[in-house]
Structure 1
Amino acid sequence: MTTRTAVITGAAGGLGSATARQLLAAGFDIVAVTRDADSALAARQALAPDARDLTVQALHADLIDRDDVRTLTARLRESVERVDVLINNAGAAFPQYAETADGVERTHALNHLAPFQLTHLLLADGLLAADARIINISSDLVTRGRLDADDPDVTGVSWRERFSQLAVYGTAKLAGVLATVALAERLPAGMNAYSANPGVIRTGFSAKSGGLLKAVSSVSGLFAQAPDKAARTPVLLATTTTPPAPNGGFFAKGASATPPAPARDTDLAAAVYERTARLIGVDSLPRTSNGQGLVGPEAPR
């Protein structure tokens, strides 16, 4: 039996590292993606003791930069025969407004645009397995997200004069959930895409983010869970024998959950998907009816 391969972005520590260790235990080869060469080396060394006879590779890319995402795709093409599981985990909640070299707000670039671009480049290259599972890490703060149903801003630049760290991060995550819903309706039969909310995690994410999120974390941190426990949901989505239903669904605490109302708007999901594809410069996929609906809690089988 051929060993399956999982690619995990944001794998330098915290949830990404915990997910990688658990997928190694489940028999996956791992490609850990981190931001720079030093963290990639450290990630590979940290995961190697859990590898046994499996393979651990580490690549690095600054996912805020679209050119780096393209370079990462090329390196994956050289490194693996196929990707069975793609976990788009890398994320950040920046405390102030700033734009990337591509002219988009940083939080949107990393949390929404980069996963969208990487997923579609892997699809275009034929690197995703016929039964691939794409798992986009979401957040409790998706409830803070705000998108204009008539004119959804997928770039984040509309927040320039009214920046709010929690609202911007939540909006980027909301865009990601909506894009995942639309993607599931467009994937080839056999492929599945999910949003996974790991909940509040005891990592350095909030402290590194600074701003209001750091202050909020000092309270919410009292109820935070360890990364190994938080990894339960993405690992379950990646490893269950039968793909969990619904395709395109929102999952939390190891089961299908009901996302916030804006994330259940199918027209908004389609608009976010099409706008993001045009912005990134990738071909949008036609609907295939592969998605199985937006809500309806159902535990993975």
Structure 2
Amino acid sequence: MSPRTRPSASGRLLRAARRLAAPAAAALLAVFALSSAGTANAVTVPAPPSGWTTVFSDNFAGAANSAPNASKWKFDTGAGSSFGTGEIETMTNSTANTHVDGNGHLAITAVKSGGNWTSGRIQTTTANVGAPAGGKLKVAASIQQPNPASGLGYWPAFWMLGPGQWPENGEIDIMEDVNALSKVAGTVHCGTDPGGPCNESNGIGSGLTACAGCQTGYHTYAMVLDRTNASNESVAFSLDGKTYFTVTENQVGAATWKAAFDHKMSIIFDLAMGGGFPNGVCGCTSPAAGTTSGGAMHVGWVAAYTTG
């Protein structure tokens, strides 16, 4: 289904390091946390895999109720209708919608007031992460999905966007869920809209797949853009280290793939309300009158690693 696309140019498990009296206790805690999917005890951004290098990361440290680090993130504000997806919220730069919690988490919260919804959308200040020629890029985040009492219309997303024209310059949706279903979808967008080799505006995606416990705990969502095979590059999506969907260059053609993915991209977190994806899944217009205000997407850490 269609993600947070913008039809023209422009476009979370880390806690802040605890001050433990014994270094051995800190090390033990870190090992336990990084081996336990769905928990919120990690104390650092995970180190890169052997042979990889960290090229971007954030642990969302900061004073409670403050904005995310302005040297890494910028707000993308305005009416959701301007993003081309049918969403109905207004994205703001208010800490009521987007803030760090003082314990090493980012919270993006959808709020209804007077019949109108507000929420938040942040992206890296530049298109700053990409796979080197002949190498790989891994982008991952620890996220707890929104868990409102009534979630019809909620649309959390962790994704990447190429600079320039959409969808030609690419989009990779690493995590999307709608209507608080506790599911996950991975999708790529490329080529032309409508139609084209990526079937726009739906893109080529996994469809929603089960994501048990993803609303009640932190889980690691990741994608690997693999350029080691120059004749058939690929994007693979994983949940807690298990790959569940892969898209290859041969599915869309070399020229289309190169334009979409052989360059740097921005990383984005946002929480939309309503729009084409949630509406398409429920066969209704969302959010509903009874949709719960105040549901939040929480991010513990985010990181990008490269190799090659």
Whether these two folds match at TM > 0.5 is: no
- What TM-score do the two structures reach when normalised by structure 1? 0.30
* Larger relative contact order (CA 8 Å, sep ≥ 6): 2
| Rg larger for | 2
Indicate the structure with greater helix content.
1
Indicate the structure with greater strand content.
2
- What TM-score do the two structures reach when normalised by structure 2? 0.30
